[in-house]
Structure 1
Amino acid sequence: MMTRAPISLLALAALLTALAGPFAAGSAAADPFRSNWANPHASQDDAREGVQSGRLVSLDKVLGRVRAQVPGRVLDAELTQGRSPIYRIKILSPSGGVVHVIADARTGDILRVQGR
């Protein structure tokens, strides 16, 4: 009786894995029906390809422009794709507040600064 329980648990685990496959967190990238609209956050590979192809300005160049206008330490930066790709940048200001910056990823222009 004891030897059957592990086999049954393994079979149950395999069945649950097979059924949960399309819903598992790691399988979103493998799903050909998901679009950037369903998951607007671009991967590093998407960003690199965009910069190499000339469609996007590098984050490094955008951060240079941002630092010239907004003092502080960069906390986070991400490329978000949608109708127009943008960089979302979070900066810790010298006063301790958080400043949110939105920049156009195609041109590098700063579109919005919030929280100065």
Structure 2
Amino acid sequence: MFTNRKSTRVSLRVLAACLVLYPVVALSETAQDDDNDDANDAREHYEAREALRLGQILPLDKIIEAVRKEIAGDIIEIEFERNDGRYVYELEIIDPSGRVVEVEVDARTAEILEREEDE
């Protein structure tokens, strides 16, 4: 097989450029994803504050109090969402046995709508 030294050098330069630029592109995409996550978080916080101000949802401490009456454990994550036209909180809890319990709670009434346990 015959190879041209010039084309090999060009190929190596292209490969080197790709290797140098890949982390830059990957980091910029990660930064954009982080920016999108931050924007979504800000929107969710604003929506929750506004719904609370308008009396459409209960304060988070009341939601947590109601959930703790039903499920013991440490809350490790809370998300605020709107599902099927209803504001809900999704909580992840590690129960005393170490299992993760996910609950969906009506943000207006504190009623547990759904409960799912990982086995």
Return the TM-score normalized by structure 1.
Answer: 0.62
- Matching residue of 2:89: 87
Matched AA of 2:52: V
Matches for 1:69-84 after TM superposition, within 5 Å? 69-82=70-83, 83-84=85-86
TM-score with structure 2 length normalisation?
A: 0.61
CA 42–86 in structure 1, closer or farther in 2 if over 3 Å, else same: farther
Distance 1:97 1:43, change over 3 A: same
Question: CA separation in 1, counterparts of 2:96 and 2:37?
Answer: 39
5+ long unaligned stretches in structure 2: 1-31
Residues 1-116 of structure 1 aligned to structure 2 (within 5 Å): 25=33, 26=35, 43-82=44-83, 83-115=85-117
**Higher relative contact order, structure no. (Cα contacts within 8 Å, ≥ 6 residues apart):** 1
Q: Which protein has the larger Cα radius of gyration, Structure 1 or Structure 2?
A: 2
* Aligned residue type for 2:113: L
SS in 2 for 1:81: strand
Q: Partners in 1 of 2:82 and 2:104 — Cα distance?
A: 12
Give the Cα separation in 1 of the matches to 2:102 and 2:55. Answer: 26
Number of paired residues?
Answer: 84
Indicate conservation of the 8 Å contact 1:78/1:89, yes or no.
Answer: yes
**What SS does the aligned partner of 2:57 have?**
coil
Residue pair 2:44, 2:81 contacting (<8 A) in 1 also: no
Identity %: 32
Q: CA RMSD in A?
A: 2.6
Show structure 1 runs of 5+ residues with no match. Answer: 1-23, 31-38
